[in-house]
Amino acid sequence: MFEFANPWIFVVLPLPVLVYYFSPAYQESQDSIRVPFFQRLVTLTGKTPQKGAVILRRVLFQKFWVPTSWLLLVCALAKPLWVGEAIEHTQSARDLMIAVDLSGSMEITDFATADGKGISRLEAVKQVLGEFAEQREHDRLGLIVFGDSPYLQAPFTDDHKTWLALLEETEIAMAGQSTMFGDAIGLAIKLFETSETENRVLIVLTDGNDTGSKMPPVEAAKVASHKQVTIYTIAIGDPESAGEEALDLDVIEAVAEATGGASYHALDRTQLQQIYKDIAALEPETYETLSYRPRFSLHHYPLVIVISGYILFFPLMTLLAQFRKRRDAHV
């Protein structure tokens, strides 16, 4: 599509016409000598007498080129643009942080694959998160791992392949043997403060109770609620286990409830898959589509035409004038 950036410039287009009709013609005076034997000079020289005023006449090319060049100059000032086809860019409208417990109990092989083979809790989490990430095409994903302390494994990113690669690199106890559940929520809150989107979701997977976080999980959840962060908690494993491996389901449920999220409990891989489907239904993909049209300026084309025309015209007229002088000299 073709358009002008400054179409109002065309108001000056009739300016030469106004100058032509309302401004006086250019006149140049020259000295002359009056002699009493003028007629005798005419007879001797054989020249034909002419009027004293000489009016310069434009050649045909000048009559055509002067208005054309003015039109081209005005078009250049109006800045013609070629507007390309609309280009749409889709960007995420949600930041989704996933916090994974890497305590020693995540090594227990009480989960099973589709063919019945036993796998560790962490391996099951990795497999299901891989499927989940594929369904969140327009979400920015982040990854926190926690044990003795929480650590940022992957900042928020649209590059899900890199996110999955960083998830795959996680190992049991790489963050320590304990379960700092509350501190993991605190780190997520800090990371969300740099987020530009208002749709913020935290999913926490743990198979144990909190073992001494600086900020208790429920208190951290209250802060998260104030920061408009929704938390979904997923408890993994046997709720009847004891010690550090014991699941404090009351705290896990209270954390989710404080932020308007939901709490789940998974005993096997199938249940874990269903939980992520439920979360996906509660948090459908949201994204923003930005549309713009590329614009390419064409103002240099009429300028090139005008400059080229004058560069060619003046040498040509000079040559013609020289030719006429030589022709008149021989006559």
Is residue 214 predicted with pLDDT exceeding 70?
yes
pLDDT tens digits, residue range 6-30?
Answer: 889 989 888 888 887 888 776 666 6
d(CA 250, CA 131) in angstroms, rounded, equals: 29
Q: What are phi and psi of 26, to 5 degrees?
A: -75, 130
- Stretch 122-133: mean pLDDT, rounded? 87
Whether residue 101 sits in one domain with residue 67: no
- Spell out the residues 6+ positions from residue 265 whose beta carbon is closer than 8 angstroms to its own: 234, 235, 236, 239, 247, 249, 271
Q: How far apart are CA 276 and CA 288, in angstroms?
A: 23
Residue 248 is predicted with a pLDDT of 78
Q: What is the pLDDT of residue 32?
A: 66
Q: How many CB atoms lie within 10 A of CB 277?
A: 14
Angstrom distance (rounded) from CA 221 to CA 234? 15
Domain-located, residue 192: yes
Q: What is the CATH number of the domain that holds 232?
A: 3.40.50.410
Q: Distance between CA 186 and CA 100 in Å, rounded?
A: 14
> What are the tens digits of pLDDT across the range 251-276?
889 999 999 988 888 877 788 888 88
Given a contact cutoff of 8 angstroms between Cβ atoms, the answer to whether 203 and 96 are in contact is yes
pLDDT of residue 293: 75
pTM, whole model, 2 decimals? 0.61
- Pairing of β 2-4 and β 80-83: antiparallel
223 or 27, higher pLDDT: 223
Neighbours of 65 (CB within 10 A): 17
Query: Is residue 124 one of the residues assigned to a domain?
Result: yes
Instruction: Judge if 112 and 201 occupy the same domain.
Output: yes
Distance of CA 174 to the CA centre of its chain: 37
Q: Which range of residues forms the domain containing residue 43?
A: 2-85+294-330
pLDDT at 88: 65
Whether 208 is in a domain gets the answer yes
- One domain for residues 7 and 135: no
User: Which residue, 283, 260, 288, is CA-closest to 138?
Assistant: 288
The beta strands (E) that lie in 26-72 are given as none
Q: How many domains does the chain have?
A: 2
Do 184 and 252 belong together in one domain? yes
